[in-house]
Structure 1
Amino acid sequence: MSTNYDADVIVIGAGLAGVTAARELSARGKKVIVLEARDRLGGRLYTEQRFGKYLELGGNWMHWTQPHVWSEVTRYGLEADRLARAEETYWFANGELQKGDLPGFMDLIDPGMEALVGASGKLLPRPDLIASDEDFAAADQLTLQQALDALDLSDDERQANEAAWVGHCNGPLDQVGFSAAIRWTAATSGAWKVMHEASSVYRLKDGNDQLVKSIAADIKGEVRLNAPVTAIEHDDQGVSVALENGSTLRARKVILTAPLNILHELDITPPLSEAKRQASQAGTASQGVKLWIRVKGPIKPFFAYSTKDHPLSVVRTEFVGEDDAVLVSFGADASRIDVTSVEEVSKALQVWRDDLEVLEIAAHDWNADPHAKETWLIHRPGAYSQSQAELQRPEGHLHLAGADIANLWAGFFDGAIESGLRVSREVAQALDEN
């Protein structure tokens, strides 16, 4: 391989991890080229103006308990905002629809939540580090459904807790690792209500894409959109990256930020380790759907939980207008509902209420997106213990980064930034030593 380098570092992917790593490396004087297959920045952070609003078709929420992302919000002077406050809440108990308020629902699920994740801060006292505790490793072997089933809960408590966790995990609970619930709650020192707020309330007022655009604007180097990579070849001298347009770029180092589910599909020579490929082939447990729904108004803002078995498990009001409202909803299995069908979506909403007239719907199929093939990172049972450390280990001059392999808030904006910071530091140090 030629040592005539086009850059010190090529970053593949212009999501939050990629642009963060590129910004940090270019600030250290490294020549950086960022290659992004899409025609936009952000990766799974995807803001579009729809229904007259900034809709987050990808990642949605952030919080001041997430240190890396909140530092960036502060750095760039971005304004955070919250969703509409629910005035009504719906849920199911013993198969019957209940109506009350959100504090009442939170009180209902509190005993189950405390029994399930109240000790997460002890199981994982340093969620910013890779876990090595034997008790955590044992818990990691369980599915979240198994962990819930082991609790002494009434049927209505169990049903409500299941619905809440389906919303968080975006996948079937019998495929989701219990470690997902432990890690999320450990990130807020075992306080599940803080975790619940941190993962579902605050967003950027003018669109979350303002964050990735702000970081990218500080990159002292090239950012190429519409630049799909077709092959990566690395050896002792560096890395060669082939692009779809037929060109080839060479660099001393490459940072690859592809989501976990597509890593094994990439043409990499020599190939990634067997453990990395197996982790990718097994895939994440997240296989659900996120759907935006504009309904005729006026309506009172509401929050609604069904069960893990309904097409939409969680629906709530995000924006309220005089003549309409915009709801955001989640389901555990994207195959259960056609998110392009107003008729199907209307039927799904009737689980809670039959007075909502659906005007428009919007969604992005992340499971079919060739550059993602997953929503947000949720490990399967045992996957964290088997692969977390290995996925963070570089292979020669090839380094991996991304929200999927972060420690503290994996799957969130915060995790992507954390990973980008960590890997950029590792790469810069390695370059300085050689």
Structure 2
Amino acid sequence: MTDTDVLIIGAGLAGVTAAREISSAGHDVLVLEARDRLGGRCYTDQRFGVNLELGGNWLHWVQPHVWAEVARYGLRADRGPKSEETFWLANDEVRTGTLDGFMDLIDSGMQRLVGASAAIMPRPDTVETGEDWREADTITLQEALDSLDLDDSERQANEAAWVGHCNGPLDQVGFGAAIRWTAATGGLWQLMHSASAVYRLPEGNDQLVKAIAGDIDGDIQLNTQVTSVRHDSTGATVATAHGGEIRAKKVISTIPINILHELDIQPAISPIKQEISQEGAASQGLKLWIRVKGPIKPFFAYSSQSHPLSVVRTEFVRDDDAVLVAFGADSTRLDVDDVEAVGEALKTWRDDLEVLEVAAHKWMEDPLAKSTWLIQRPGQYTRGQAELQHPEGSLHFASSDIANIWAGFFDGAIESALRTARTVKEELES
């Protein structure tokens, strides 16, 4: 006896998108979510009197899947305040200028590093297997940067920019991560920078998750953690922490790569899936919101991967205060609950900011994620991208972590879900 046609593990963007697509084709769908909310790593909370994105923050019209959904549901996208001053380190000394000036400083290094991205990965929408790509995927981003032999000021500035993107130590980040991001914007690094760090949904990014979930013709059960999956070519039995069991013709796992190996799956997932999950992604940093006393001018600040905070920018400006968003490469290097420690970290650039409050979600400590956004280690893409997308029996996979174009972004979650949902529908209807 089958309880549902398709059981989906996780109600993040990938899970709700897959559920919408499959249920719209007339198939029974059940979504099980361990958290008490929708969204997964898309996590909007009301703090400091604004919509704080404790999880994923930005989207852009060059990200085709998410932008189509924004248009579909009539959601409004906007940007934070433009930077009026920018701080960075050159030879470990603070420099002040404009954001355009900083971009000019890193332009030569960026062009030399990723200017050939579109040639190395001409079709980021497919799984790349070309020789140039395989070679690029063997080294770290740090090795690629070091090979440019930049002067100290350019090197430090370029490293800081990439730490902001990669949210992890550059000697663990695959050079392929930089290639993939830039190839997604046709090899234009400036557009990549804008696409990954400017526009958001001011009413909250979770509005997109809720809109998609509202179109699901099926059930979503929150606070329901899956503990095991027993599957074969005929279907699967899924057990939950509540002690219940559900039989489904198909199961779609949207579990983040970093914890996939922790789920009891029998027969076991392939060795490559297990290895990459156990290795974990290279991204292992933090995201932190900081409310400071105002008034202040909107600013951008870059330091280095060795500082507790590598990148800080102003996201909200009011008369009496401002809200900053900050990132660091190593989540163990700063206690994000310690207002004094955060204030000290900001003194890397300036000592005139009074920290009033801080807010963060500790993603690396979150047992349902153990990761921020996906940044692969050297060789993980070449070794595992195709395999991570490959179904096993009646068990399928969908996640931003295994997307082709914008892995780690909202767009990637939707892309992966659409592809997997199509495959599942075809199998159910064959």
Q: Which residue of 1 aligns with 2:251?
A: 254
SS of the residue aligned with 2:6?
strand
Equivalent position to 1:71, from 56, 68, 72: 68
C-alpha distance in structure 2 between counterparts of 1:416 and 1:307, whole Å: 30
SS of the residue aligned with 1:367?
helix
C-alpha distance in structure 1 between counterparts of 2:20 and 2:328, whole Å: 36
Equivalent position to 2:340, from 325, 329, 343: 343
Deviation for aligned residue 1:94: 1.4
Does 1:229 find its partner at 2:247?
no
Cα shift readout 1:39-82 (whole Å, capped 9, x = no counterpart): 00000000000000000000000000000000000000000010
Q: Which residue of 1 aligns with 2:169?
A: 172
C-alpha distance in structure 1 between counterparts of 2:413 and 2:428, whole Å: 22
Does 1:120 find its partner at 2:120?
no
Q: Which residue of 1 aligns with 2:311?
A: 314
C-alpha distance in structure 1 between counterparts of 2:348 and 2:280, whole Å: 31
C-alpha distance in structure 2 between counterparts of 1:352 and 1:125, whole Å: 39
Does 1:397 find its partner at 2:394?
yes
Aligned-pair RMSD on alpha carbons? Answer: 0.5
Does 1:271 find its partner at 2:268?
yes
Paired residue total: 430
Equivalent position to 1:202, from 186, 193, 199: 199
C-alpha distance in structure 1 between counterparts of 2:92 and 2:270, whole Å: 48
* TM-score normalised to structure 1 length: 0.99
C-alpha distance in structure 1 between counterparts of 2:307 and 2:174, whole Å: 21
SS of the residue aligned with 1:351?
coil
Equivalent position to 1:426, from 418, 423, 427: 423
Deviation for aligned residue 1:152: 3.0
Q: Which residue of 2 aligns with 1:19?
A: 16
Deviation for aligned residue 1:237: 2.1
SS of the residue aligned with 1:315?
strand
Q: Which residue of 2 aligns with 1:245?
A: 242
Residue segments in structure 2 that go unaligned for 5+ positions in a row? none
* TM-score normalised to structure 2 length: 1.00
C-alpha distance in structure 2 between counterparts of 1:68 and 1:26, whole Å: 19
SS of the residue aligned with 2:128?
coil
Q: Which residue of 2 aligns with 1:87?
A: 84
Amino acid at match of 1:31: D
Deviation for aligned residue 1:21: 0.3
SS of the residue aligned with 1:112?
helix
- Regions of 4+ moved over 3 Å: none
Does 1:357 find its partner at 2:339?
no
C-alpha distance in structure 1 between counterparts of 2:26 and 2:251, whole Å: 16
C-alpha distance in structure 2 between counterparts of 1:220 and 1:91, whole Å: 50
Deviation for aligned residue 1:236: 2.9
C-alpha distance in structure 1 between counterparts of 2:155 and 2:198, whole Å: 24
Does 1:102 find its partner at 2:99?
yes
Structure 2 counterparts to residues 349-388 of structure 1, below 5 A = 349-388=346-385
Does 1:133 find its partner at 2:127?
no
Does 1:284 find its partner at 2:281?
yes
SS of the residue aligned with 1:147?
helix
Deviation for aligned residue 1:235: 1.7
C-alpha distance in structure 2 between counterparts of 1:228 and 1:299, whole Å: 44
C-alpha distance in structure 2 between counterparts of 1:242 and 1:266, whole Å: 11
C-alpha distance in structure 2 between counterparts of 1:295 and 1:192, whole Å: 31
Does 1:7 find its partner at 2:4?
yes
Amino acid at match of 1:192: W
Cα shift readout 1:104-136 (whole Å, capped 9, x = no counterpart): 000000000000000000000000000010111
Deviation for aligned residue 1:154: 1.0
SS of the residue aligned with 2:396?
strand
C-alpha distance in structure 2 between counterparts of 1:176 and 1:275, whole Å: 19
Amino acid at match of 2:109: G
Equivalent position to 1:38, from 35, 38, 49: 35
Cα shift readout 1:212-256 (whole Å, capped 9, x = no counterpart): 000000000001111111110002320000011111101000000
C-alpha distance in structure 2 between counterparts of 1:401 and 1:310, whole Å: 35
SS of the residue aligned with 1:218?
coil
What is the identity percentage for the equivalent residue pairs of Structure 1 and Structure 2? 67
Deviation for aligned residue 1:153: 1.2
Deviation for aligned residue 1:329: 0.3
Amino acid at match of 1:36: E
Residue segments in structure 1 that go unaligned for 5+ positions in a row? none
Deviation for aligned residue 1:156: 0.4
Amino acid at match of 2:194: E
